[in-house]
Amino acid sequence: MVAPLVGILALQGGVLEHAAHLRAQGAEVREVRTPAGLEGLDALVLPGGESTTMTLGIAREGLADPLRAFAASGRPLMATCAGLILLDRTHLDVLPIDCERNAFGRQIRSFEGDVAVAGIDGPPHHGVFIRAPKVVAHDDDVEVLATVDDAVVGVRRGSVEGYAFHPELTDDGRIHAAFVARVRA
Amino acid sequence: MRDESTPRVKTGLAEMLRGGVIMDVIDAEQAKIAEAAGATAVMALERVPSDIRRDGGVARMSDPQMIREIQAAVTIPVMAKARIGHFAEAQILEALEVDYIDESEVLTPADEANHIDKWEFEVPFVCGATNLGEALRRIAEGACMIRSKGEAGTGDVVEAVRHIRSIRGDIKRLAGMDGGELATAAKNHQAPLELVRWVAANGKLPVPLFSAGGIATPADAALMMQLGAESVFVGSGIFKSEDPQTRAERVVMATTHFNDPAKVLEASTGLGRAMDSLEARKLPEDQLLAGRGW
């Protein structure tokens, strides 16, 4: 069986950790910095980092339309933290959601804690939230995958999923495993 | 159940800053320019290193009012510097809720024997290092990010290169050693054996390794990234240049595309004059900042 080829947007941010998880699930990984880098991918990850920096990089490289086209193609797309912000209505407008940045406060309020994720069996995922955003509004066709207190921190619509936390910073490979399984399906 | 300020989330922020540029800024206006140019974070300080060099005297933590104004002006992380060993300055910066504290040799050291016990703090720390032993001593004290020191405020990248090559070279050498040799290496590096063993097994530091000190051009940033830095700090290099906004944007671009010479060429073209520079090797011993801390 041919290994699926998964791209990671690598303008800046936590690329290495996603790459390690994806490889552990048998995927091949390509770092994406230009529109040409999106060609031939089976799936894409938008990693954590600084959403302002990534947004400027997307504009500089002419990546906004190619990224929207990728999302619309139905190929799986996973976003974490800053990547989730990029999906919202005021950024790439890939999902009908609104995000609040740094919704839990500055770095001193960054935290880790258990979070149940829909579709992930077994014990709760141990979420790592770093200057994390939350989803403050979403259309009805967006499925909520995870919440912390009352805050929406995981969403999916069709082939696109986003998390406010960082599964890539944990040893829990279940979220990446499920993602790669969808790529193979 | 929430656990705040764990080593995981402290180091995690450093990991999210990878592949980016952290810029020194002295006021809210510069902070906004840095953010609009694509900086991943700003370092708030009263005087950039080249001015500290020029002015002489004791360099201290910045005025909290200025740091507050910068925090209000941008949404990217705001870092600030405390003097080596000056834990009271660090306590003030923590009360301000800065996102990272830099225990920095650019300021005048407050303690000639001890660095800050960084485990005591909820806000994470970055520290400078010139070699592997120094990096591991800082990590043992609780630093969650290491930056090679370079020679700040010179615009001369030679010391940054020396330090990153030294750190990366020593990491590679550890990988080939057996248990007995690692014990000797720990002694020679004056670093905890447990950390030396971890580095040998994993081929990297347990926290991100960034680079600082003398980076003035997009090419300098690309050089440091190719040498193994995971991000770069640019101090005087941006706002002491002729066209700070353009230079800031281009250093960001070169840091992203450090392995793509055509992109670094594009980033290097039409920049205007770089900062006024000093050749690090010609500086008198008492003006070298990298020797502060141990």
Chain B residues with CB-CB distance to A under 8 A?
1-6, 8-10, 12-13, 15-20, 35-41, 75-77, 94, 97-100, 122-124, 249, 252-253, 255-257, 260
* Positions in chain A short of pLDDT 70: none
- Count Cα atoms within 13 angstroms, Cβ side, for A143: 10
Decide: B16 and A13 in contact? Cβ < 8 Å: yes
Round to whole Å and give the CA distance between A176 and A32. Answer: 18
Q: What pLDDT was estimated at residue B284? A: 86
- Which single residue is written with the structure tokens 């139905």? A74
Residues B26, B28, B31, B37: what is their CA dihedral angle, to the nearest 10 degrees?
Answer: -130
Nearest to B16 among A52, A108, A130 (CB): A130
Question: What's the gap in Å between the CA of A74 and the closest CA on chain B?
Answer: 28
For the purposes of burial, counting CB atoms within 10 Å of the CB of B63, is it exposed (0-12), middle (13-18) or buried (19 or more)? exposed
Contacts of A107 in chain B (CB under 8 A): 9-10, 13, 77, 97, 99-100, 123-124
d(CA B191, CA B209): 17
Q: What pLDDT sits at residue B175?
A: 93
Q: Tell me the pLDDT of chain B (294 aa) as tens digits.
A: 689 999 999 999 999 999 999 999 999 999 999 999 999 999 999 888 888 888 888 999 999 999 999 999 999 999 999 999 999 999 999 999 999 999 999 999 999 999 999 999 999 999 999 999 999 999 999 999 999 999 998 999 999 999 999 999 999 999 999 999 999 999 999 999 999 999 999 999 999 999 999 999 999 999 999 999 999 999 888 999 999 999 999 999 999 999 999 999 999 999 998 888 888 888 888 888 888 888
Contacts of B126 in chain A (CB under 8 A): none
Q: What is the pLDDT of residue B283?
A: 87
In this complex, do B97 and A33 lie within 8 Å of one another by their Cβ atoms? no
Residue of A nearest to B12 (CA): A130
Give the dihedral sign, CA A110/A48/A72/A119: negative
Query: Which pLDDT score, from 0 to 100, does residue B160 have?
Result: 97
pLDDT of residue B5: 93
pLDDT score at B71: 98
- Please give the pLDDT value at position B47: 87
pLDDT of residue B279: 85
Model pLDDT, residue B281: 81
The residues near B33 (Cβ < 8 Å, ≥ 6 apart) are B25, B244, B245, B248
The active-site residue, picked from A81, A99, A138, A161, is A81
Q: What is the pLDDT of residue A81?
A: 98
Closest to A10 (Cβ–Cβ): which among B19, B122, B124? B19
- Nearest residue on chain B to A149, alpha-carbon basis: B1
Residue among B1, B124, B256 whose CB faces A33 most closely: B256
Query: For B122, which residue in chain A has the nearest alpha carbon?
Result: A108
CB contact under 8 A, A111 and B6: yes
pLDDT of residue B289: 87
**What pLDDT is attached to residue B291?**
85
A81 is catalytic: yes
pLDDT value for B278: 85
| Interface contact A49-B3, CB threshold 8 A | no
Q: Which of A11, A16, A53 to mutate to test the interface with B (most CBs of B within 10 A)?
A: A53
Scan for tokens 């880098």, then name that residue. Answer: A37
- B40–A166 CB contact, under 8 Å: no
- Specify the pLDDT at position A123: 97
Question: Which of chain B's residues have a Cβ under 8 Å away from the Cβ of A128?
Answer: 8-9, 12
pLDDT at B280: 84
- Rounded to the nearest angstrom, the minimum Cα separation between B16 and chain A is 4
Q: Could you give the CA distance from residue A177 to residue A24 in angstroms, rounded to a whole number?
A: 9
Q: What is the pTM of this model?
A: 0.96
The number of residues in chain A equals: 185
Give CA–CA dist B260/B237, Å, rounded. Answer: 22
